[in-house]
Amino acid sequence: MQVQNQIVLKNMSTPDNDEVNNVDKIPTEQKGAFHQFLKSLASFSGDLSSLTCPAFLLAPVSLIEYSEYWTQQPDLFTDITKSDDEVERMIAFVKWFISSLNASYSRRVPKGEWEKKPYNPVLGEQFKMQWGDLQGSGETDVLVEQVSHHPPVTGFHIKNEKHGLTLNGHTGQKTRFSGTSLIVDQVGQSIVTLKNRSNESYMYSCPSITVNGIWYAAPYVELTGTSYIQSTSGLYCSIEYTSRGWISGERNHFKCYLRRNGGSSKEYICKMEGQWSGKSTLTKYGSKTSEPFLDVTALTPAPMHVKDTTEQDDMESRKIWQKVSDAIRANDTNLAGIEKNKIETQKREERAARQEAGEEWQPKYFKWEEEEPTVITLQRMLTSTVKSKSFSSGPTTGSDAQIEAVEELRHHFKLSTDELKQFRNDLRREMDNGLKSDESHMAMLPSWIFKHPTGQETGEYLGLELSGSNIRIYLVTLHGQGRISTRQQKFVISDHLKKGSINSMIDFLVESVDNFLSFVGKYELKQALSLGFVLSFPLEQHALNKAVVIQWTKDFEITGADGKNIAELLQIGFRRRHININVEAVINGAVGCLLAHSYRSLDTLVACTISTGTNAAYWEKVEAIVKNRKELPPNADGDMIINTEWGSFGDKNLGLLPRTFYDNRVNRQSVNPGVHVFEKMVSGLYLGEIARIIMVDFLDRRLLFDGQYTPEMNTPYLFEASYMSAIGSDDTPDLEATKHILESIMNLPSTTLSDRQIVRTICELVSQRAARLVAAAMSAIIDKRNALEEGLTISMEGAVYEHFPNFPRRVNDALRSFYGERVDHINVGITRDGNGIGAALAAMIAITQKQA
């Protein structure tokens, strides 16, 4: 799919003489903004949506409308499916493709005029239109939606029902500034499917764009680089673009070779060459004569139909931007800037409100789909033939052995929906067993929290969190109406303390709290402060303030805590230092996150943590908790929070987990073999190690880095999950961020593009499996509580969920595979600082439960 360039473009039908200088035509009040704009270009890097152009450069149209130009010639679009010959169909495809480039970058602007910058689409913006019949083509419907704002991604679906054609895909761009030009690398993927030809499919990429003439306020576009078209029929095209032709010197030149996959690169079926904005010819292989191919200047666009703004929905493009467009057409650039700023401010406020509420925005018409089979097939066909950077999934270069190894790895890490459902059902069964006895794979530990927060509670409470490499201390103020404010401080836990005695750890915790009280100005506590303590380790509890650590996990090996009440040890520590604090509650981290989110969203049912470790807590009916029935207080009814400790699922029966050779090695070589095995497949502490072990295996087989080892690559846990996140976000053409991590951090002497693409695929496969397993585990809780019909909120917490590329989408896609459209009944929110806030809320609830 094209990426619609967001900078001023020149009409390429304008005669190409010296560059035009429009600087003198800039309105006086806008010249300062123009020069500031030029300064910003000098250091510009990123996507074009982050550029703010002066108002006089704006066009009265949103960028989202530009997708329509791909089917401005529905007659050529529908011609693709008419021939019974696969070669003729590919030639027809190229003819349509070239006409679309012309419509997108040349014909769109009236001759002699200069195009202005379109608006950057807002998140959720939609464009709906229809191309009318042209020479028997029938009607062609266009649906476009802005599915992401940062980075900007546009989803589109174009359909011609009469001839059974669809064009589906998404588009985005990466931009860099070079000299006096902007260079736009177009990313995304587009698939054309011919329903009437047994779903024959074509995948195409788009050329890069160079925008020149910016310094003269008269920019124009040139297409550069190479794009590809791949068909499931076994034919592919490579199209090279130059600003001037090899012989004629004409602008907007292209040369396209049509070949069969697996054939010699020196042979071709035919060659198409000429101007994508003018005339071109076709020459068959071995022939010295050419025949006319396409003259885009002779084409007549189809009639266009768009509803009047009075009939459009609020999120439709022309309705959103109507006041801005009216001002631009009236040459009132000041008013246009004001109205444009109003829209952008509103959208920023909406985004901030979603973040505050922990809500994740979802597209209305589109959903992300991982590893769609047709896309994977076409990518493999093309990458086995050419060295292409145009398609982003999987290794685009490499030997047959490398490609085969990656496909084998993909097979091991890809989990079908049926496999996920089996995993979900096994986990739910063990949840039921865990509520009945302690012999289950799932601990299902009671929290002894019976009261839901109402969101109206007020007061000051302390939260103390011990989880990974730090402790955090929070002063939490509850304001009512679901509002919370905090002050917090972090203290680093030394490796010595992690492997030391419980007394040393308690002394450290007490001293840190004392320092924090000084930090927040509470030097003397005349009235006792209530404190909740959150421990992200398995706890055996018989009351809110009676907790014993069952097992120290992650990289903690604390001694002397066996059978001891952590709350009592901490209370003794405060008394010894004469600190007026009452330890009211000890809870698990997942329980804390659930409480924190429940304070502002009363329908929160589940909290899930995916960070260094993983766990989940949820509200369970008291009547379902059989094993602790005798310990329940007389007034306990309704719900109680259960800490599932799902990280330990499979510990007693490894056959319940879809493990690979690499998972077995990570488990076997960990500090706690056989413990929290599920956690070792999905959490941040272990994901990087799984990826490292895979890379080492590929190294052993001389499939990566030319078999070169480094001490860093051989060091367990040195390849961190944060590196996976950075690699997964790296969509530069040469994978520069990946190169930096491998060569500068892992100290590999050199890496090839194939190496970096394989490493990226490894990281994607490991994180994708983790997301799908987490979704299946969440589904087990949803089904157990039969909560889907009434709707529910799930609180998500942790760096893996927040920062791994596409992790939330992959979780949502897996849930959708279980529930279909009913997944819309699930609201997912992100909780930050949930452990500490939840600990403080637990202290508050402990007091209210005593008073009940």
Mean pLDDT value of segment 337-341: 86
Q: Answer for the pair 122, 349: CB distance below 8 angstroms, yes or no.
A: no
Of 45-54, 363-372, 739-748, the range with the highest mean pLDDT is: 739-748
pLDDT in tens, 474-522: 999 999 888 899 999 999 999 899 999 999 999 999 999 999 999 998 8
Residue 719 has pLDDT above 90, yes or no: yes
Q: What domains sit in the chain, N to C, each tagged with a CATH number?
A: 23-342 (2.40.160.120)
**Whats the size of the chain, residue-wise?**
852
Confidence grade of residue 14 (pLDDT, cut at 50, 70, 90): very low
Q: What does the alpha-carbon distance between residue 608 and residue 796 come to, in Å, rounded to a whole number?
A: 5
Predicted local confidence at residue 177, as pLDDT: 57
Q: How far is CA 149 from CA 351, 363, 801, in A?
A: 10, 11, 19
Mean pLDDT of the chain: 85
At residue 791, the 3 state secondary structure works out as: coil
Rounded average pLDDT over 745-758: 91
**Cα 801-826-722 angle, rounded to 5 deg:** 5
- Determine the average pLDDT of the residues in 588-601: 90
Contact 73, 100 (CB under 8 A): yes
For residue 197, give both structure tokens. 């030809």
pLDDT attached to residue 2 = 30
Check whether 259 has a pLDDT greater than 50. yes
Contacts of 87 (CB under 8 A, 6+ apart): 235, 258, 269, 270
Cα distance between the two ends of the chain: 63
- Residue 526, burial from CB neighbour count under 10 angstroms (0-12, 13-18, 19+): exposed
Q: 118 vs 497, which has greater pLDDT?
A: 497
For the record, the structure tokens of 58 come out as 């704006």
With beta carbons less than 8 A apart as the criterion, state whether 658 and 419 touch.
Answer: yes
List of residues 6+ apart from 841 with CB closer than 8 A: 453, 457, 461, 476, 478, 532, 592, 595, 596, 599
Residue 756 is predicted with a pLDDT of 92
Q: Which residue has the higher pLDDT, 440 or 26?
A: 440
Angle between helices 566-576 and 502-519 (to 10 degrees): 60
Q: What is the mean pLDDT of residues 67-74?
A: 90
User: Predicted confidence band at 392 (pLDDT cuts at 50, 70, 90)?
Assistant: very low
302 has pLDDT over 50: yes
Residue 675 makes CB contacts below 8 A (sequence gap 6+) with 551, 553, 648, 651
Contact 60, 324 (CB under 8 A): yes
Per-residue pLDDT, 37 = 54
Q: Identity (one letter) of the amino acid at 176?
A: R
Count how many Cα atoms sit within 13 Å of the Cα of residue 346 in the half-sphere of its side chain: 10
Q: How confident is the model at residue 577 (pLDDT cuts 50, 70, 90)?
A: very high
The pLDDT of residue 733 is 74
- Per-residue confidence (pLDDT) for residue 388, from 0 to 100: 43
pLDDT for the residue numbered 5? 29
pLDDT of residue 340: 86
Average pLDDT over residues 559-588: 93
What pLDDT, on a 0 to 100 scale, did the predictor assign at position 646?
A: 95
Span 618-635, average pLDDT: 84
Residues of the chain above pLDDT 70, percent: 87
Residues forming a β-bridge with 230: 203, 236
Of the listed ranges 125-139, 190-204, 468-482, 632-646, the least confidently predicted one is 632-646
* CB atoms closer than 10 angstroms to residue 491: 15
What residue ranges in 296-391 does DSSP mark as E strands?
A: 304-305
Measured from the Cβ of residue 508, the count of other Cβ atoms closer than 10 Å reads 18
Beta strands in 285-329 (DSSP E): 291-295, 304-305
Q: Token pair 């413990």 is at which residue?
A: 675
Distances (CA, A) of 404 to 166, 384, 698, 801: 32, 11, 12, 30
Say what the pLDDT of residue 847 is.
92
Backbone angles phi, psi at 794, to 5 degrees: -115, 130
Report which listed range, 333-342, 402-411, 681-690, is most confident.
Answer: 681-690
Which of 100-109, 172-181, 309-318 has the largest mean confidence?
A: 309-318
Mean pLDDT confidence for 97-121: 78
Average pLDDT (125-148) is 94
Distances in whole angstroms, Cα of residue 593 to Cα of each of 455, 648, 812: 15, 19, 20
* Vertex 704 angle, CA 414 and 176, to 5°: 85
Give 219's pLDDT tier (boundaries 50, 70, 90). Answer: low
Rounded (10°) angle between helices 417-436 and 807-819: 90
- Tell me what the mean pLDDT of segment 203-208 comes to: 90
CA distance 31 to 50: 20
Give residue 30's Cα distance to chain centre. 38
pLDDT of residue 387: 52
